[in-house]
Amino acid sequence: MTVGTGWPWRSRRWGVPIRHRHLEPYLADAVRRYEVGPGCRVSQTFELTFDPSVFDLFVAWSAGATAVVPRPDEVRTRRRS
């Protein structure tokens, strides 16, 4: 059985496979696209157990920016009307 990507379902339980050589250009593109650099502060609002949190942290660190983890009461949540 495959899950949309052609990869066997069992291999998907460990997350999305990525080769390390692809990580640096990916992060460099994100740093350029979001204009992150030294002196910037990047808000880390995802739970650390959620995969996108790694993206926020590594983009900040690779650009020399500061990753800021706000207190729960500082995070704004969207309310449905």
CATH code assigned to 16-71: 3.40.50.980
Nearest-angstrom CA–CA distance, 52 and 24: 16
Q: What is the pLDDT of residues 26-79, one digit of tens each?
A: 899 999 999 999 999 998 888 877 877 888 899 999 999 999 988 878 877 666
**Terminal C-alpha separation, the chain:** 41
CB atoms within 10 A of CB 67: 16
Partners of 42 in the beta sheet? 67
C-alpha atoms less than 13 angstroms from C-alpha of 49 in its C-beta half-sphere: 0
Global confidence as pTM:
0.62
